[in-house]
Amino acid sequence: MFSSYNGTPKEAKYLIYASILPAVAYGLLFTDIAYFLTTVQGVPADFTGIVISLMGISTFIASILLGVAADVYGRKKLLIVGNVLASVILVVFALTTNPLILLSAAVLEGISEAAVLASSSALLAEKAMDEKRTSVFSLYGFAQSMAFGVGSFAVPAVAVFELAGFTDKEGHVLLFVLIAVLSLVSTLIMLKVSESKMLKKPRASIADLFPRKSKSVLVKYTLASAVLAFGAGMVVPLMTLWFNLQYGISDKISAPILAVSSVLIGLAILAAPPLAKKFGLAKAIVITQAMSTVFMFLTPLSPNYALAGLVYSMRALLMNMASPLSQSMIMGLVAEDERGAASGISGALWRLPNALSTFIGAWLMGMGLLAEPFFLAGILYIISIVMFWFYFRNVKMPEEIRYA
């Protein structure tokens, strides 16, 4: 299994290393933001849903434009700007409950996320080349998941701050600020990566900068992905809140449960390249996503939080095992000089439906309907999987054709 990772290019390794601390910050933010704003800061649940949704809407709008910009002006530059901005925004979320500032921070967080999404996948694909693309994306996914888990595991550190005399709120703020500073430091590693060589020349018309050679495959991919994202958004960003409403436990308990989930995801992702080699990318994606859907339906039926955490972890493990395979697939199918735009567009059309459905999920949970978001998400998962199989069941990747 590990032979797939031998010979990973040096600059691809730098990108993976540089992503670790920012992923810790994202792990903290996305695991705890719903609980932190609602329970610790006293922000109403529906407004918290709006803040989280606005982050996604902002990502959607910015991703398309920044993806195009990355292909023209530089993917490395965009990655650095995105990471610096994301680190600063994490501090802002920790320090204020002002509605206007929170909404502004949500917009800027979305822009920073868009910058990272639009640049990182394109850079990884370029530095890895076709032969190592799937293994590099899997290794990147492993590092991201493990780091995301560390960010979730960090939440109980609030209890350590409380032992030192800080309040629960002060402990949360200290944790957010500390992780933000560490994320900012990772920018130094990004400087070691060379700028992309696969850039477009500026054109007279903005429309000329959008993907034309890759239009057909990109439309199919993003349609299936958007349906999946709409389902996931109803539950995934809200799990600490859901655990609190369903079982009455705080984020100090639920966050470590979700952290274990991220660690398991990271370990499972390492098996993704052999799975893709055995079945082919498209079939491997469908198999893992279909198995994940079963656990989506089972999660809200669990009688206690421990079993719910285990079932949810299985859902997350299988679904996210498919993630690096999907990223590798779309980067392998689009033209090299359109990868930034393709990454931005696919990321945008993931985040928008994901963000919009988060508000729906928070609204349903606020009404006491705690199982319905999972059931709706499961149905949307099924629709997405069927669409993806219909579109890509006969598609062969460049490396699959080359070594067939």
Residue 109 forms part of a structural domain: yes
Instruction: Report residue 138's pLDDT band, with 50, 70 and 90 as the boundaries.
Output: confident
| Closest to 199 measured CA to CA, from 80, 337, 11 | 337
Question: Tell me, what's the pLDDT at 203?
Answer: 53
Residue 199 forms part of a structural domain: no
**Per-residue pLDDT for 173 more than 60?**
yes
Question: Tell me, what's the pLDDT at 73?
Answer: 79
CA angle 23-27-29, nearest 5°? 115
CATH number at residue 351: 1.20.1250.20
pTM of the model: 0.72
Cβ-contact 322, 145 below 8 angstroms: no
Residue 398 forms part of a structural domain: no
Most confident of the ranges 45-49, 271-275, 349-353, 387-391: 387-391
**Per-residue pLDDT for 200 more than 80?**
no
Phi, psi of 340 (to 5 degrees): -65, -50
- Sorted by sequence, the CB contacts under 8 Å of residue 152 that are 6+ apart come out as 27, 28, 31, 32, 255, 256, 258, 259, 262
- Sorted by sequence, the CB contacts under 8 Å of residue 38 that are 6+ apart come out as 44, 45, 48, 241
Cβ-contact 380, 230 below 8 angstroms: yes
Q: Which domain, by its residues, includes 320?
A: 2-192+212-392
Question: Tell me, what's the pLDDT at 404?
Answer: 47
Residue 42 forms part of a structural domain: yes
Q: What is the amino acid identity at position 184?
A: L
Residue 91 forms part of a structural domain: yes
Q: How far is CA 276 from CA 272, 282, 334, in A?
A: 6, 8, 19
- Sorted by sequence, the CB contacts under 8 Å of residue 80 that are 6+ apart come out as 187, 190, 191
The CB-side HSE value for 34 (13 A sphere, CA atoms) comes to: 35
CA angle 140-145-151, nearest 5°? 125
Sign of CA dihedral 157, 252, 102, 188: positive
Cβ-contact 208, 341 below 8 angstroms: no
- Sorted by sequence, the CB contacts under 8 Å of residue 163 that are 6+ apart come out as none
Instruction: Report residue 199's pLDDT band, with 50, 70 and 90 as the boundaries.
Output: low
Least confident interval from 228-237, 301-310, 318-327: 318-327
Neighbours of 116 (CB within 10 A): 24
Residue 403 forms part of a structural domain: no
Least confident interval from 85-89, 98-102, 315-319: 315-319
Question: Tell me, what's the pLDDT at 64?
Answer: 79
Question: Tell me, what's the pLDDT at 272?
Answer: 80
Residue 200 forms part of a structural domain: no
**Per-residue pLDDT for 201 more than 70?**
no
- Joined together, the tokens standing for residue 31 give 């695991």
Average pLDDT, the chain: 86
| Closest to 390 measured CA to CA, from 286, 291, 275, 280 | 286
What is Dmax (Cα atoms) for the chain?
64
Most confident of the ranges 76-80, 253-257, 323-327: 76-80
Residue 206 forms part of a structural domain: no
Tally of domains in the chain: 1
